[in-house]
Amino acid sequence: MITIVGAGLGGLTLARVLHLHNIPVTLYEGDASAAARTQGGQLDIHEQNGQLALKAAGLFEEFRKHIHEGGEAMRILGPDGSTLFDEPDDGSGHRPEILRGDLRQLLIDSLPEGTIKWGHKVTAIQAIGAGRHELTFADGTTAITELLVGADGAWSRVRPLLSEAQPEYVGTSFVETYLYDADERHAASAKAVGTGAMMATVPGKGIQAHREANGVLHTYVSLTRPQEWFDAAPVTAARVAAEFEGWAPELTALITDGETPPVLRPLHTLPMEHRWERVPGVTLLGDAAHLQVPNGEGANLAMYDGAELGRAIAAHPGDVEAALTEYEAGLFPRSAAESAEAARDFERFFGPDTPQSVLDLFKSA
């Protein structure tokens, strides 16, 4: 029996691949249900990792039914609202967009009922020998694992079994807002965002937005500030918008007209070369293994990790350690390379040379 902690995209992909190979699996998730909290915004699913994972899971064609048509469009605007770059979605792109929640539900629905144990928040893990571990849940119940996979994100409960590494703040935070019925009620902002993604950045700050289904504009405001700045006072729309004084009103309205309370999302990373010595009976995938700054690869990498781990387990029946050794031999160099690329991309998007560095990146692509 394989035990997975965390019902994010990576853990679910692993569970699905194992199910296709008739390998018993149980997935424990702290949330009470699939609908317990919102699941983030648009994801672009990439040919070299996320799409391969969906094919390994036998879900690629079903995934295509949920693609957000037009979502690959990209606009770069100046603070005054002027258009610096505008690339429409002409259907020739290779990174189709889908809502994270839709993709997660697709994976959940692909698993037999009972595979996911909702409402099981892990509070403690104890090694009990021979590669086995005892999980303790918030309700006091326990479970014994034969192979434990930490797919439980940035603040993983499983990771300390393998590594002392802790996520560190990168100096930039996102503040998340939503506008609804945008074409009717927020026409100027809807026009600025266009049919896909929009970003307007200068050194130290920026406004990025995605158009989602049903006229939703989902905005991430970036601010490069020490953690103390965000802790000093409530992160209100007015306080955030004050950092963009003089910007075009159709851009600042993405903040001031937000119809949900602003959500602060500090950005953290693990060390770029994060790895661990082989520990019997346990491994990690996704952000638990290689948390990096956002560049559109995080979800794709988590799903690919899940597919690769599932493949390795299926290829080594009865030999868990051979499977984990093979999986981690691919995971470590892949993660290091992707983390380095993410750091370079983040510097282009939010560093001292933006927006010119962003324009150069998209024009070269």
**Are the CB atoms for 59 and 107 separated by under 8 Å?**
yes
H, E, C per residue of 3-18: EEECCCHHHHHHHHHH
For residue 359, which of 85, 93, 87 has the smallest C-alpha distance? Answer: 85
Name, in order, each residue with C-beta under 8 angstroms of 27's C-beta and a sequence gap of 6 or more. 3, 4, 5, 6, 7, 11, 12, 15, 111, 115, 116, 117
Name, in order, each residue with C-beta under 8 angstroms of 364's C-beta and a sequence gap of 6 or more. none
The two three-digit tokens of residue 2, written as one number = 């394989």
What does the alpha-carbon distance between residue 77 and residue 86 come to, in Å, rounded to a whole number? 9
Residue 309's H or E segment, with its range, is helix 298-315
Is 353 marked as binding a ligand?
Answer: no
Torsion of CA 353, 358, 364, 365, to 10 degrees: 150
Is 44 marked as binding a ligand?
Answer: yes
Is 287 marked as binding a ligand?
Answer: yes
Is 265 marked as binding a ligand?
Answer: no
User: Max alpha carbon distance in the chain (Å)?
Assistant: 64
Known binding site: residues? 37, 44, 100, 287
Known binding site for FAD: residues? 44, 100, 287
Known binding site for NADPH: residues? 37
